[in-house]
Structure 1
């Protein structure tokens, strides 16, 4: 293995939520447990009369009047949320319509909301690193922690509890960074990791313990043209913290590593369907990059030899997180949020009848995964994967690496 400088990923992981033990108590005090937030609009502090805590975890049964008045909930989000087994039961129970608008790029979705499209949506689901930016731009609204805790954090696995260090739903409104003692702005919904995929039938286990194997001519390597995640994984391989401003020396190090990777690769793939096809056809042995959201469809079809492995250098953990978009909310909005957070419905989202398979952080879902789902989603490995990886916090100078990726593509 090549010797490189390293950053302490476990220190970064500990930074996931440094204020662990006092997190919940501090949040309750900060938000006032239902008291009005200074400067808040009325809809920001309304009690959740539609989803009373005493009836948790079941949602309330709509009245005849509510059943007679159909409302529409508009949600900007990722594929899978639009699946019929996810949306259908909600629409039927609440006599409501849902407008699910899908996107594939956080930055583009952010720009849509910022340009004024926020008026078209009540809820949005972004990778969690975008939550501070959404909050700073006042595109999403703060959430009362104590009111929503029974429907969200009380339902999550231990890895996603604030008292255990999970901070990626809370924002410090002084500098708009993640802070377990900050204001709640979002709820974790689905999660996974970005790394690389290998065919374990053709790539020796000893070889995929490091990303170095993708730089070796020992196997055929395909590169998925997804600069955003690719550059971050390259930084992990190089021992560079992705989530800080980078020096000229680090940028040059990433440049050379990126060029070397592309020089070694046998093919450039435009989308993850093409990469999955290249893997199944035997055209490539290694897909760089990949993740559980990409190769999960292969495994769901029984192709367990394809695995988004996490080598010694770790992976990037992403968490899709759902927020209330600023502006008035229909009556059904609270119920939709609570519905999506119920464990049995999170299980459907984890295994949608259209869109990819992904892990959810809801304990009820974890308790009810069947043997096939546990194997496809690699549930029994999740804790180790998170332990050796880093949570995605955003690359502050990503624009410096876009020309590097573009130039590297011209070398193929």
Structure 2
């Protein structure tokens, strides 16, 4: 798949301020960065007869990783700040500092660990505090329907985003989870673009391959076996989906009473077999590393990557025959006023070097990115830790997370099951 290596940041800061001085009203850029709601057409806006600024001209990126895109002393320091609601890893210094240096502005990242809680924060009025937000892709319909995010113009952003992705994340190959039909806010490849894929991984379970037989961890059944010490991560949201996969039940539909009862019994059996309940993924990693448990249910690439990066490659977020759940962190533009460099920040996050750094941040977890050049350029260590060569098979054997419509029916089951440990 071809990538456009020279099209990394639409404008240098110096070029932007010169153009802004020459174009009336550009400080309140339309389209991706202007207006309150962005409009339903997703046409990018802009002043009459003018193409959006990021489409008009493209700047070459210097070879040096952190070389400034402007001449010293020629920038206009505006004191702008980009406020980004997102996950750990995005705040790493090697991810944020190059942008801060290049554009003489600040970035403030507010980290969250729960999509529902983050959504509730924005819906309650906190959207005014942020310019961009990164959610798992299944939340795009809710965010759009609530009027919290604005549409993006696919053709204008394609050179900076989808042209750089591996095939399984391109629109031509059927990746629908950044596009919405605005009649019912369902995912639709022919719909309007509402987000930019940034990082992805899978939810499954983690096994110590030194203590769990390969013939056993080929199925989630290993977590229900008497012969292994199992720790359950108290994360109902992902755990209940993995239990459904084990039971052969589609997680992403309304469920019958019989299916709910089947999930109930399987959940109780899992907790009856478990040795311990773990409150967070740090506790799970510690329990795995100390040998307290052989299997962690649930886990995923974002959880055990820290162990593998530390050299403990015997710990694997394994995807058994029943498959895993694929999540894709997707960045959206929020409604409301945006700083003049907001588009540049979104484009910067798509750079090869930025994607590489986000995949291997100086702080936070390690996760794969959909950017072709970043994956192609991964070191042997990164390929092994992140299991890059296994990703196509993992995705083929898995389902993309699109939201459990009746999740509330399973919350009481999980609560009751916890009392059984």
TM-score above 0.5, yes or no: yes
In the alignment, is the contact (CA less than 8 A) between 2:85 and 2:112 conserved in 1? yes
C-alpha offsets along residues 181-230 of structure 1, whole Å, 9 cap, x if unaligned? 10000000000000000000011111111101111101111000000000
C-alpha offsets along residues 346-369 of structure 1, whole Å, 9 cap, x if unaligned? 110111111000000001101210
Q: Which is worse superposed, 45-54 or 235-244?
A: 45-54
Say whether residues 1:49 and 2:58 are aligned partners.
no
C-alpha offsets along residues 246-292 of structure 1, whole Å, 9 cap, x if unaligned? 11110000000000000000111111111111111111100000001
Say whether residues 1:391 and 2:395 are aligned partners.
no
Say whether residues 1:196 and 2:205 are aligned partners.
yes
Q: Secondary structure at the match of 1:258?
A: helix
Higher normalized helix content (fraction of residues): 1
1:14 aligns to what?
A: none
Taking the aligned partners of 2:416 and 2:41, their CA distance within structure 1 comes to: 48
Instruction: Indicate which of 325, 341, 346 corresponds to 2:350.
Output: 341
1:210 aligns to what?
A: 219
Question: How far off its partner does 1:56 sit?
Answer: 6.4
2:228 aligns to what?
A: 219
Taking the aligned partners of 2:194 and 2:97, their CA distance within structure 1 comes to: 27
Change (3 A) 1:77 1:104: same
2:149 aligns to what?
A: 140
Number of residue pairs aligned between Structure 1 and Structure 2 = 378
Q: Secondary structure at the match of 1:45?
A: coil
Equivalent residues in 2 for 1:250-269, closer than 5 Å: 250-269=259-278
Question: How far off its partner does 1:65 sit?
Answer: 6.5
2:6 aligns to what?
A: none
Equivalent residues in 2 for 1:244-323, closer than 5 Å: 244-323=253-332
Q: Which is worse superposed, 334-343 or 42-51?
A: 42-51
Question: How far off its partner does 1:40 sit?
Answer: 6.0
Equivalent residues in 2 for 1:63-212, closer than 5 Å: 66-212=75-221
Question: How far off its partner does 1:61 sit?
Answer: 3.7
Taking the aligned partners of 2:111 and 2:167, their CA distance within structure 1 comes to: 30
In the alignment, is the contact (CA less than 8 A) between 1:222 and 1:265 conserved in 2? yes
TM-score (norm 2): 0.86
TM-score (norm 1): 0.88
Question: How far off its partner does 1:407 sit?
Answer: 0.1
Q: Secondary structure at the match of 2:317?
A: strand
Equivalent residues in 2 for 1:223-242, closer than 5 Å: 223-242=232-251
CA RMSD for the aligned pairs? 2.2
Question: How far off its partner does 1:67 sit?
Answer: 3.1
Taking the aligned partners of 2:355 and 2:365, their CA distance within structure 1 comes to: 14
Question: How far off its partner does 1:41 sit?
Answer: 10
Change (3 A) 1:378 1:42: closer
Change (3 A) 1:91 1:215: same
2:13 aligns to what?
A: none
In the alignment, is the contact (CA less than 8 A) between 1:80 and 1:355 conserved in 2? yes
Change (3 A) 1:120 1:51: farther
Taking the aligned partners of 1:94 and 1:51, their CA distance within structure 2 comes to: 19
Change (3 A) 1:92 1:52: farther
Taking the aligned partners of 1:61 and 1:298, their CA distance within structure 2 comes to: 37
Q: Secondary structure at the match of 2:205?
A: strand
Taking the aligned partners of 1:56 and 1:395, their CA distance within structure 2 comes to: 44
Taking the aligned partners of 1:80 and 1:121, their CA distance within structure 2 comes to: 18
Q: Which is worse superposed, 48-57 or 72-81?
A: 48-57
In the alignment, is the contact (CA less than 8 A) between 1:230 and 1:288 conserved in 2? yes
